[in-house]
Homo-oligomer: A and B are copies of this chain.
């Protein structure tokens, strides 16, 4: 696709309003006409970034061959019926580098990541699998540390690791340790969450300050001469989701903001529901450390991964109760309403900047922060 990220339509509103809307409408048409195909002959880091290149890879390579009504929904977890029971099922591989970072490691990340994908689908996470790909020469002590961390995270989230697998590849065949987790949860009765159900007038909330995980991992690599007091936000969201869904009937959709950050999640919602999401930049909670580091790195915090934060789309009536529930829950103290769903322009995310302008927040093509999960 030829539309670059960050295409700017920044101007004083309402001056140029008509021109901007025209430009947006034309862009939507361009996107719609574009048939997904992979122009690259070889896989690039961008294909794993969770943004536009990943979506194209899925649309061009995976869906045409493996597609089925369940897979095609492209939610964080698939919803299934097995033997009369409604289940959610999801998988994630973790290749984070480094393996250990302030606030967490690949072990709790692998548990929380899958727990969260189940939780935001409206399921109670129950059973996880764990597949390890270890590099020959990996320190057993490090493996023990990782497994202990998984055990703590599983206990905290109330899930059990019930099946596993270990493969070892030769030195140079993996970066120490990769972990895949898959997870099964039972759908909470009466709950139907879907990005596609967002409606104009709904509010968009985030459950806490964004970007802490991605910035922490980036700094933990030690390649940048930046010292900031940041800690990964890796945490299970299942408790918070359960509290929210039981208290507030008007929750339409939940998404955890991992690879690609809040910006990517909002784009997925806008596209799935064919609505616009309008974000108020000043309302987005970002810690000064994350903001400062992101600025030094030239990255917009909206694109930086969290591993314990979610985006919620809530009906107008549910907004205040939802905010109260989130803020009352540990980890949700800084929950905030960051924007709203609008009808036009469908499929796009618009940001009202702190400078008073408006710009399109697109999916990224490349990956400013590779291997953060």
Contacts and interface: CB of A to CB of B under 8 A. Distances in A.
Interface in A126-145: 126-127, 129-141, 143-144
Nearest to A186: B83
A168 interface: yes
A40 interface: yes
B48 A134 contact: yes
Given A48-B168, A93-B132, A134-B48, A41 B174 contact: no
A68 interface: yes
B65 A148 contact: yes
Interface residues of A, number: 81
Contacts of A135: 43
Interface string A76-102: 011010111111011111110000000
A144 B61 contact: yes
Contacts of A349: none
Contacts of A130: 66, 91
A215 to B, nearest CB: 20
A252 B133 CA distance: 32
A169 interface: yes
Interface of A: 38, 40-49, 54, 57-58, 61-62, 65-66, 68, 70-71, 77-78, 80, 82-87, 89-95, 126-127, 129-141, 143-144, 147-148, 150-151, 154, 160-170, 172-175, 178, 180, 182, 184, 186, 370-371
